[in-house]
Amino acid sequence: MLDDGPLIPRNRALHPNPFDPGYKTSVARSPHLPLLAMDSSASEETGPTFGHGQLGALDNNLILNWTRGAAPAIGERIVMHGRVLDERGRGVPHTLVEVWQANAGGRYRHKKDGYLAPLDPNFGGCGRTLTDAEGRYQFLTIRPGAYPWPNRGNDWRPMHIHISVFGHSFGQRLITQMYFEGDPLIPLCPIAATVKDRAQLERLVSPLDMANSKPLDYLAYKFDIVLRGRRQSVFENKPEGV
Amino acid sequence: MIQTLDMLAETASQTAGPYVHIGLMPSYTGNGQIYDLELGQSPISDGASGEIIEITGSVYDGMGLAMRDALIESWQPDARGRFAGQDGADPKVTGFCRFAADATSGEFILRTIKPGPVALRDGRMQAPHISLWIVARGINIGLQTRIYFEDEDNSGDPLLARIEQPLRVETLVAKKTDAGQYRFDIRLQGDGETVFLDI
């Protein structure tokens, strides 16, 4: 059966509420009126594609990509890996996955980050890759540090890596964050807490994956990402009323 | 015990945060050296068929402040309504662009070609439009909307026809300010709140 029908409507209860007073910035940046729902069309079902020819050999190696291989970044060496799947559990092949993160001290290489922790001259903080034929991806990076941010009196972000995924449809577009198993800051974080469904929040926490760690080199953390799927179209493609 | 559906739940969204440019537009924050080629710099290349247009606007928060950290992605077909990868599509139109609000003024500019109309499954035509996806600090799940054009016939568009309050249709229609120039402001909340989509 083909999955070439419209995108499966989003279950918004599985996502953060756009308006969440615990995350203060969301208060003035959240729509108050209802969203307009409609079956998807080609405008949402198609999407940009990217090829290996557009990426560089070190793009998924955050330890080396900032210096083009000249000197490694400081920090706890990790591999972040997993699969991009759709709601039917099928791997999403050849899709772009992008990540960005703070350095080992919790500082971003961004003109607006003025945290006390120093920049690492050997760390840029972003990477990208294409999934393989089964939807697998991996990045070599350093574990980012936790850092404080202005929200309530003393809020800290748990260690996290931002992830952006395309899928094959513009309507599948998703940005999320990966947290690390055992981080005591996760239950204290107002941004993590925007996800009200407990199982959904736990699915943002990557487990330590010793089987994929490399002795004397790096630890591994596994993080799978699920994108929206498509309806099966046996009874689609008919004019209205037929 | 009834049968199970064997479906997975979509991964929960999280805000793109204040430093989203590092990941998606590294040159915006002075990190352009990291990649040989930054993706999404333009939706068209030289020789694309169609009318070249520029759309200028701002993203305003609920207090009317132009957001200087918003990042937008756009997706559109070529001048005949064909998306990249479809048969006969204009090879000079990738259709995908990333652009950010200026760090000082908060204004964005999208330079592209006017898209062609795209049909629904049932054959009804949609008026020419560009799909947008907006992320920023404080936006917990990316916001979908569309740009339509005031100098096109939007009267039969199925999506615009579903908007309950006709006044709100205007929030999706770019205003022509000069030849090839349009203005499209996005208001996240409050007076003139943009119609956001769940498609």
Measured between beta carbons, which residues in chain B are less than 8 angstroms from residue A50? 39
* CA pair distance B96, B176, nearest whole angstrom: 22
Q: Mutation test of the interface with chain B: which of A175, A176, A231, choosing the one with the most B Cβ atoms within 10 A? A: A175
Residue A153 domain-assigned? Answer: yes
Does A74 have pLDDT greater than 90? yes
Kindly determine whether residue A88 and residue B19, on different chains, have CB atoms separated by under 8 Å. no
* Contact with chain A for residue B23, Cβ under 8 A: yes
pLDDT band at A201 (very low <50, low <70, confident <90, very high): very high
**Which residue's entry shows tokens 């590294």?**
B26
Number of other CB atoms surrounding residue B70 within 10 Å: 27
Chain-centroid distance of CA A189 in Å reads 17
Nearest to A226 by CA among A119, A82, A117, A96: A82
Residue B13 domain-assigned? Answer: no
Measured between beta carbons, which residues in chain A are less than 8 angstroms from residue B128? none
Residue B15 domain-assigned? Answer: no
* Contact with chain B for residue A203, Cβ under 8 A: yes
Range of the domain at B111: 20-187
pLDDT digit string, tens, across residues B102-131 = 999 999 999 999 999 999 999 999 999 999
Q: Mutation test of the interface with chain B: which of A27, A41, A196, choosing the one with the most B Cβ atoms within 10 A? A: A41
Please say whether the dihedral angle defined by the alpha carbons of residues A96, A97, A102 and A103, taken in this order, is positive or negative: negative
Does A242 have pLDDT greater than 50? no
**Which residue's entry shows tokens 């008919």?**
A238
Q: State the Cα torsion B146-B152-B157-B161 to the nearest 10°.
A: 80
pLDDT digit string, tens, across residues B10-58 = 999 999 999 999 999 999 999 999 999 999 999 999 999 999 999 999 9
Kindly determine whether residue A112 and residue B19, on different chains, have CB atoms separated by under 8 Å. yes
Mean pLDDT of A185-191: 98
pLDDT digit string, tens, across residues B159-175 = 999 999 989 999 999 99
Residue B12 domain-assigned? Answer: no
pLDDT band at A4 (very low <50, low <70, confident <90, very high): confident
Does B75 have pLDDT greater than 70? yes
Q: What is the pTM of this model?
A: 0.97
**Are B195 and B172 spatial neighbours (Cβ–Cβ below 8 Å)?**
yes
pLDDT digit string, tens, across residues B139-196 = 999 999 999 999 999 999 999 999 999 899 999 999 999 999 999 999 999 999 999 9
| Region for A36 from its dihedrals, namely left if φ exceeds 0, alpha if ψ lies in -120 to 50, beta otherwise | beta
Residue A5 domain-assigned? Answer: no
pLDDT digit string, tens, across residues A204-228 = 999 999 999 999 999 999 999 999 9
* Nearest residue of chain A to residue B122 (CA atoms): A239
Kindly determine whether residue B121 and residue A98, on different chains, have CB atoms separated by under 8 Å. no
Residue B196 domain-assigned? Answer: no
Residue B197 domain-assigned? Answer: no
Range of the domain at A25: 12-30+39-44+61-227
Kindly determine whether residue A44 and residue B137, on different chains, have CB atoms separated by under 8 Å. no
* Nearest residue of chain A to residue B82 (CA atoms): A42
Residue A21 domain-assigned? Answer: yes
Kindly determine whether residue B34 and residue A20, on different chains, have CB atoms separated by under 8 Å. no
pLDDT band at A47 (very low <50, low <70, confident <90, very high): very high
Nearest to B11 among A41, A226, A240 (CB): A226
CATH number of the domain that residue A131 is part of: 2.60.130.10
* Contact with chain B for residue A234, Cβ under 8 A: no
Could you give the number of structural domains in chain A?
Answer: 1
- Residue contacts between A and B (CB atoms, under 8 Å): 269
- Three-state DSSP state, B58: strand
Contact map slice: A 130-169 vs B, CB within 8 A: 162, 164
CATH number of the domain that residue B114 is part of: 2.60.130.10
Kindly determine whether residue B146 and residue A15, on different chains, have CB atoms separated by under 8 Å. no
| Catalytic annotation, residues of A | 108, 147, 157, 160, 162
Nearest to B83 among A18, A42, A55 (CB): A42
Kindly determine whether residue B188 and residue A28, on different chains, have CB atoms separated by under 8 Å. yes
Could you give the number of structural domains in chain B?
Answer: 1
Give chain B's end-to-end CA distance (angstroms, integer).
33
Residue B3 domain-assigned? Answer: no
Contact map slice: B 89-148 vs A, CB within 8 A: 94-96, 103, 118-123, 126, 129, 131, 133, 135-144, 146
pLDDT digit string, tens, across residues A109-143 = 999 999 999 999 999 999 999 999 999 999 999 99
Average pLDDT for chain A = 95
Nearest to A236 among B39, B67, B121 (CB): B121
Residue A191 domain-assigned? Answer: yes
Strands (E), chain B: 52-60, 71-75, 96-100, 107-113, 118-119, 125-126, 130-135, 143-149, 173-178, 181-183, 186-187, 197-198
Q: What is the ipTM of this complex?
A: 0.97
Q: For residue A151, with 0-12 CB atoms within 10 Å meaning exposed, 13-18 middle and 19 or more buried, which class applies?
A: middle
Give the model's pLDDT for residue A147. 98
